[in-house]
Amino acid sequence: MAQTALLDELARSIPPERLLRQPAQLVPYESDALTAFRSRPAAVLLAATQEEVVQAVRLCHREAIPFVARGSGTSLSGGSLPIQDGLVIALNRLNRILHLDPAQRIAVVEPGVINLAVSRAAAPYGLYYAPDPSSQQICTIGGNVAFNSGGAHCLKYGMTANHVLGLKVVLPDGEVVELGGASLEGVGPDWTGFFVGSEGLFGIALEITLRLLPKPALYRTVLAAYDSLEAAGDAVASIVAAGLLPGAMEIMDALAIEAAEAAVQAGYPRDAAALLIVELEGEPLQVEAEFAQLLQVVDRSHPRTLSVAKDDADRARIWKGRKSAFSAVGRLSPDYLVQDGVVPRSRLGAALAAIEQMSRRHALRVANVFHAGDGNLHPLILYDGRVDGELERAEALAGEILQLCIELGGSITGEHGVGVEKRQYMAALFAETDLAVMAELRRALDPGELANRGKMFPDGEAPALRAQGPHPLERLGLLSRE
């Protein structure tokens, strides 16, 4: 068998404690943060060096064995779900920050480096790494690159792709190429940008050159409570109309507020129908002037309460509630699905009203936590997997929400990626020709479709079993979903 040949050859150079082949060893790798899917790989390679990754990819290519790269397994779209009988190449041990150049404002890192570790390493120089997915304490840069991760600051700062300048990549056939570099600019096609967000289908990033930004000198964070989601949404529209460009604008609904309060006591007003967090950052004199303007705009939007973070601790508390909202909502229900659709900002009100109707029709509770600044919805559909038919109803509701996002001119995913979860909606979002061209581009780099087979494209294989319940890491409080 091809698998045996591959594993025997790998075993010649890799010690058994880093080449997992026993069923008991493989269980933790059977799924990622999208726990509804499970699949057992033939083996897991805990790669220790870039050379081992390249060797493994070359062997997979020779033996036509599909492979999946994996970091911390926090994908919410099933992006790092193993392929049945394929190889998982785990990259967590490739966790060195190879180079940090404050004058050039770059960091060159290996794919297993944790997102937040980049900002920690840059902090002594007054710099930070801007993309901040909610899982940033545990998710890896390699995964962020593969799925073009977002966070709460995308309107102003963009997504991961906007912060990746260069890459060293092993393509699916084992060729190693260098794309882009340490300069902010290049000439010729933007290969780096093309690779970011390719969901592992174009191979594995071995080294990533990240752009760092100077840490803002001052933050001003406002928390406003409203009697309706619509009023909170209108406030966002007025802020934008005033010509302000906040770093973040986040909204939570009553159910999300209740859950966050129960979990972390963020001090949110419990009886509000909606909560709006707005944050300005930058040079102190400019921020204070914008802040005065912001307060006027928010005041005119008739909030029932309005408060301002007094200090860093207060600001951290406000954000803690927001960032833990997902796992907190999970406490209200045995199971839940998270969606990640995007709508034009002006259609947020329409989208939320439609979701509320859908929620009633399917008799399932939906909590809403979303990035209002960039129209990125995160409806959490609560269900009980033990009740016959509830999962199916939840999935139907999720599908209707994605369909709605497409109809309103948006996207099926803002930051979680397509993965296995949203494959079937790609055909609704893109025309046949668009998908055909994407598939051809993929096959030009990977004729055998070995790299992360079964993801992104609608007709991919679906070797997954169903299961419910939180991810083991989530149970330990190490993982939060957004």
What is the footprint of another protein within residues 211-250 (CB under 8 A)? 214-217, 237, 240-241, 243-245
CA 324 from chain centre, in angstroms, equals 15
- Residue by residue, DSSP assigns 369-434 as EEEGGGTB--EEEEE-TTSTTHHHHHHHHHHHHHHHHHHTT-BS-SSS--TTTTGGGHHHHS-HHH
102 binds another protein (CB under 8 A): yes
Distance CA 331, CA 357 (A): 23
Rounded to a whole number of angstroms, the minimum distance from the CB of residue 274 to another protein is: 19
Rounded to a whole number of angstroms, the minimum distance from the CB of residue 119 to another protein is: 14
Rounded to a whole number of angstroms, the minimum distance from the CB of residue 98 to another protein is: 16
Select the residue interacting with another protein from 154, 275, 328, 479 (CB under 8 A): 154
Distance CA 444, CA 293 (A): 52
**479 φ, ψ to 5°?**
-130, 135
Distance CA 452, CA 203 (A): 8
Residue with tokens 């397994």: 73
22 binds another protein (CB under 8 A): no
Nearest to 168 by CA among 145, 189, 187, 185: 145
Rounded to a whole number of angstroms, the minimum distance from the CB of residue 316 to another protein is: 19
Say if residue 419 is exposed, middle or buried (CB neighbours under 10 Å; 0-12, 13-18, 19+): buried
181 binds another protein (CB under 8 A): yes
Rounded to a whole number of angstroms, the minimum distance from the CB of residue 229 to another protein is: 18
Residues numbered 356-385 forming contacts with another protein, rule: CB under 8 A:
371, 374-376
Positive or negative: CA dihedral 29, 32, 36, 37? negative
| Nearest residue (CB) to another protein, 28 versus 409 | 409
Q: Among the candidate windows 25-33, 59-67, 97-105, 305-313, which touches another protein by CB under 8 A?
A: 97-105
Q: Hey, what are 343's tokens?
A: 């709508």
Q: Among the candidate windows 12-20, 60-68, 89-97, 99-107, which touches another protein by CB under 8 A?
A: 99-107
What element of type H or E holds 61? helix 50-63
415 binds another protein (CB under 8 A): yes
Rounded to a whole number of angstroms, the minimum distance from the CB of residue 112 to another protein is: 21
Distance CA 395, CA 34 (A): 13
| Nearest residue (CB) to another protein, 46 versus 127 | 127
171 binds another protein (CB under 8 A): yes
| Nearest residue (CB) to another protein, 23 versus 243 | 243
Rounded to a whole number of angstroms, the minimum distance from the CB of residue 201 to another protein is: 8
| Nearest residue (CB) to another protein, 41 versus 375 | 375
462 binds another protein (CB under 8 A): no
Select the residue interacting with another protein from 344, 357, 467, 469 (CB under 8 A): 344
409 binds another protein (CB under 8 A): yes
# residues near another protein by CB under 8 A: 96
Q: Hey, what are 40's tokens?
A: 């057992």
The one-letter amino acid at 71: G
| Nearest residue (CB) to another protein, 2 versus 171 | 171
123 binds another protein (CB under 8 A): no
442 binds another protein (CB under 8 A): yes
180 binds another protein (CB under 8 A): yes
103 binds another protein (CB under 8 A): yes
Rounded to a whole number of angstroms, the minimum distance from the CB of residue 440 to another protein is: 5
Distance CA 55, CA 213 (A): 35
Q: If you compute the radius of gyration of the chain from its CA atoms, what whole number of angstroms results?
A: 22
177 binds another protein (CB under 8 A): yes
> HEC profile for 169-200?
EECCCCCEEEEECCCCCCCCCCHHHHHCCCCC
422 binds another protein (CB under 8 A): yes
40 binds another protein (CB under 8 A): no
x-marked contacts with another protein along 182-211 as a string, rule CB under 8 A? xxxxxxxxxxxxx-xxx--x----------
| Nearest residue (CB) to another protein, 208 versus 263 | 208
In eight-state DSSP terms, residue 363 is: T
Rounded to a whole number of angstroms, the minimum distance from the CB of residue 290 to another protein is: 7
Q: Which residues contact 406 (CB under 8 A, 6 or more apart)?
A: 412, 425, 428, 429
The answer to whether residues 248 and 153 touch, using CB atoms and an 8 Å cutoff, is yes
| Nearest residue (CB) to another protein, 209 versus 333 | 209
Inter-axis angle of helices 348-361 and 390-407, nearest 10: 160
| Nearest residue (CB) to another protein, 401 versus 426 | 426
303 binds another protein (CB under 8 A): no
The answer to whether residues 318 and 252 touch, using CB atoms and an 8 Å cutoff, is no
420 binds another protein (CB under 8 A): no
Q: Which residues contact 392 (CB under 8 A, 6 or more apart)?
A: none
C-alpha angle with apex 156: 327 to 372, nearest 5 degrees?
A: 45
* Cβ neighbours of 84 (radius 10 Å): 17
Distance CA 82, CA 425 (A): 21
Q: Among the candidate windows 19-27, 57-65, 287-295, 470-478, which touches another protein by CB under 8 A?
A: 287-295
| Nearest residue (CB) to another protein, 422 versus 453 | 422
